[in-house]
Structure formats: structure tokens, C-alpha cells
Structure 1
Amino acid sequence: MRLTILGCSGSVPGPNTAASGYLLEAEGFRLGLELGNGAFAQLQTVLDPFDLDALVLSHLHSDHCADVNALTVLRRYHPAPPYPARPRRLPLYAPPEAPSRLANAYAADADERAAADLSDVYDFHVLREETTRIGPFEVTAAAVHHPTPAFGLRISYGGSILAYTGDTGPCAALGELADGVDVLLSEASWTEAADRPPGVHLSGKQAGELAKDAAVGRLLLTHVAPWTDRAAVLAEAEAIFPDSELVTQGAVYDI
């Protein structure tokens, strides 16, 4: 499978860098992971958005889902009809509140919010702690430690496995998701410090510890906030797990 980084800035988009957005491809199937601020613009540099086959949102913070609004406008109002093999309704896997939360974010005023319904655009599926087949991918979701309902993902295809932490503090579920994977795509929003709030994000050090303990093949660091020293985050991870790399927007990885 091929992983493309559409955006990797944490919490907010950074200068010329979109917030969270990733694209996984295998057998011609295009699976989006997150669509945060600015990620939709980057998606359009690599494919026609109507060619997206499914979308997964790990949680509903804006830096992971804000550009669903833009995708909604395109799929609802684009003057050209979709390709015959690409229906307007896109399978969207997300936490249970996604239909109402995304509709409220899209609605322009109170009257519109009362009648908001995105079911003409999306085929909503509730993301649960289970394994689901999405196209050629086997996707296992597990609840992680974050202030809102959030999931990490373990994605398998053709004998290769990618684990994605989503946004989370340290928790037991991460070890199970990352166990022995080929690539761990891990958030590392900040550097290690005693006063970091628990249950929110990982430091570079904690991401490195996760990779080492889970015996992963490679660690890709993402979701670094624009106000955080990226080099310091990488140094923390590399000190524990040498095969660590900071992802950059537009980078492509074959897994």
C-alpha cells in the first residue's frame, strides 16, 4: 500500500502546511484518513476528489475534519455529474456523532442547522472497536485517550501493516495497535515535559518508546504543532528508536 501525506501540522494548519490528512492506496482503491484544515486543497493535487473511495475520521476535532465541509460542497454542487463508477455518496467512517456534528459545521444558520442532513453526500458508518473491511484494506479501530471520542487504527493489506495513532495520550490500546507493524504513523505534538496535560497527545519521547516497545519496523512522526520545535521532537524519538522520521507534506511511502 502507498501512503501520501496530505497534511501533517498538529492542532492547526501551519505556514504552507495543512493539518492532518493522509491518503492510502492499494489495488486502485483510495482511502482517505482525516481531512483537516487545508488537506482538501492538497488532496486535489494528487487526485480528483470524486475518485476518493472512502474516508475515515479518527475523531471530530477540526484539525482532522474541518475540510469535510469543502468536500461536501464539491460533492453536492459540482456542475458536472460524477463518473458512472463514482456515486455522489461517499462511505465515511467516523465516531457516532459525525452525521450531526458535520452537518452543524456545514450549516450556515440556525434554520439550516435544524434541517441539516448530509446523507445525500455521505454514507455514514459508525467507527467502532472492531475490524472492518474497507475496499482491500482490513481496518481495526481501537479507542484511544483523547478529550473527545477518538480512535487509533491498524490497517492491513497484502501482508503489510500500518498503525496510525490518531490523537492520543499514552494508553494500552496503542501497544496493541502498533504491535509488530511495518510502519507506525504516530502523532508527536510536543516535546517531553512534566507539566504536559495527560490524555491529550504524545511527545516525541513517548512516540519513540511506543515504537521500541511494539517492535515496529519504522516510525513516522506527524501532527507536530507549528509552535513546537520539530527538530527537538525528532531528536527525542531518535534517541529511543533510531529509525524515526518526521513526515513532510507531499511525501509518499510504500509500505
Structure 2
Amino acid sequence: MRLTVLGCRQGMPADGQPSSSYLVETGSARLLLDCGPGAATALSSVAHPSDLDAIIISHLHADHCYDLLTVGKTLLSGRLRDPKRFPTLRDAARHEWPPIPLYVPKGGRSKLDTLASVFPVPHFPVLDRSFDVAFDVHEYEPADTFTVGDNAISMHRMNHSLLNCGTRLESPEGSFAFTGDTAYTPDLVTLARDVDLFLSEATLEEPDVTAHGHLCAAEAGDAAAAAEVGQLVLTHFITADETWLKARKADAERSFRGPVHLAAPGRTFDIRPGGGTR
């Protein structure tokens, strides 16, 4: 199992860094977790969207899902431009191909349809059909489970201003959990219990006292320690400043004694049972 960080920035892209997006690869599947602004460009450097077996969106804030439209249009336009497969636009529109499963929180489909409708392509209407042709949209609820390849995936409600579910993935090659966005909650420990790698937001310097719902690095370290994970990767940063990032790493290390890493675009982690990574 391998994790590739495509984007790790909180909110909108900055300093050349895309927003939240992560590629998880196993021997049987490629999964994209979140797809914030800039993710489509970053993904194109390591894989084509058609290589994905599923996309899972933690919640529907723009910095976690906005590039879904770009990825969808890439899937559609790529097929339209293949003259061997589709000599004419009519052939492309009539042709049926397996859409990529897209998992979004309950109520998400209507929001995505609205997003697609804002940018119509009148002369190529098939390009407006990302969310009914390029993707097979599934709306999940907390505690839902599903399988992609040989990966068992479960969704865990977290504590955020919108419905946000952390993703837990278990396969013969290793186990992994990702928080999405959340304030501290005991459910973090359930999400991450005994996983080989825990990818956790670490947005703040101090615990969140608002109703928005974000973690600080110290809380990510607390959750990792309580869940007894193998490795901790911090992400969802407000800055690329090295001094600030090193301070957040030190915050997490005060409670979690295992390896702590800082996410960065393009950084990869090989995940193995027992916590092995690089």
C-alpha cells in the first residue's frame, strides 16, 4: 500500500501547494481521497483519472471537493479526443464505459449537479455530464461500509461544521485512516485504532474553540497515541513555513512516540502491516 500526497493545504491552494487530496494505491485498487483545488493538476503528474477505482470525499467544503468537476471533464474530454475509440462526438456520446465510483456525503449529489450546471458547454453537452456519466455517485452516511478491490472501507462521523466522515481502509497490504476535517472527538480513536498509517489534519496551533471543527497537531498526536497507530502523517496546513511546520511536528511528538511525518505535495509513504513506511 502506498500513500501519495497530492495536496496538503488548508483552504485554497497557496505557495504552489494544492488543497487536500491524497492517492492511496494497493495491489488491487487506486483510490483518491478528497479532491480540492489543484488536485486535478497534481493527479495528472502521477496517474490519469481513468486509472482510479474510486474517489472518496470526506465532506463538501470546496477545499476538499472542488476539482471533482475538473476530473470529471478530464474523463469525458479524454474519451472524446480518442479518434480510435470515438471517431465522432456522436459515437462518444452513445458509448458506455464504466464510470468511476464517487462516494460523497448524503445530499452531495445535488450540490455537485449544481456545480456542473454553472459551467455549461453548449456545443459539447456530454461534457456537462460529469456526475451522471463520468462518475457513479454514491451518497454515504456515517457507519457505511463498502469494498473497492480487496480494500474494506468504513466511514466514521467526525466533528466538523458540515457532515464529515473519516475514512478507514483495511487491506491485506496494510491499514490506513484519514480524518478529513474534524475537531477532537473520541471517535478519532475508533477511526484510527491500530492502523499502520494515520493521516490527520493538523490545521491549528491550539485546540479549536469555535464551532467550525479543526484539529491542532497536539490533538492529532493524542489521538494517534490513544489509537496505538504505527505512523502519523500530519496534513492540512495553513502555511508552508518550515519553522511553523517543525513546531507542529514537535507538538504531536510530545504525546505520540512513534514516527511523525509532515505531508508535502509529492511525498510518498509505503505502508506495511506493523507500521512500516518511508
TM-score under structure 1 normalisation?
A: 0.90
For residues 35-72 of structure 1, what are the alpha-carbon distances to aligned partners after superposition, in whole Å with 9 as ceiling and x for unaligned? 10101100000012211121100111111101011112
Q: 1:224 matched to which residue of 2?
A: 237
How many residue pairs align between the two structures? 249
Q: CA deviation at 1:199?
A: 5.3
Q: Please, which runs of 5 or more residues in structure 2 have no aligned partner? A: 87-95, 123-127, 272-278
Relative distance call for 1:119 and 1:180 in structure 2 (3 A) is same
Q: For 2:146 and 2:28, locate their aligned partners in 1 and report how far apart those are by CA, in whole Å.
A: 19
Match of 1:100 in 2: 110
Query: Which deviates further from its counterpart, 131-140 or 39-48?
Result: 131-140
2:181 counterpart of 1:167: yes
In structure 2, distance between residues paired with 1:231 and 1:196: 23
> 1:90 and 1:83 mapped to 2: Cα distance?
19
Q: Taking every aligned residue pair, what percent have the same amino acid on both sides? A: 33
In structure 1, the gaps of 5 or more residues are none
What does the per-residue CA deviation read over 1:172-230, in whole Å, with 9 as the maximum and x for residues that have no partner?
A: 2211011111111000101115x631451000110010011111111100101128832
2:248 to 211, 233, 236: 233
Q: Distance in 2 between matches of 1:105 and 1:230?
A: 34
Q: How many Å separate the matches in 2 of 1:204 and 1:14?
A: 20
Give the deviation of 1:107 after TM superposition: 1.9
Q: 2:270 aligned with 1:254, yes or no?
A: yes
Instruction: Work out whether residues 15 and 240 of structure 2, in 8 Å CA contact, stay in contact via their aligned partners in 1.
Output: no
Measure, in 1, the Cα distance between the counterparts of 2:211 and 2:26: 36
Contact 2:53–2:148 (CA under 8 A) maintained in structure 1: no
Counterpart position of 1:190: 204
Is 2:26 the counterpart of 1:26? yes
Q: Is the 8 A contact 1:12 1:225 kept in 2?
A: no
Tell me, yes or no, if structure 1 residue 151 matches structure 2 residue 161.
no
1:58–1:166 contact (8 Å) kept in structure 2 = yes
Residues 19-98 of structure 1 correspond to what in structure 2 (within 5 A)? Answer: 19-78=19-78, 79-81=80-82, 87=97, 89-98=99-108
In structure 1, the residue corresponding to 2:222 is in which secondary structure?
helix
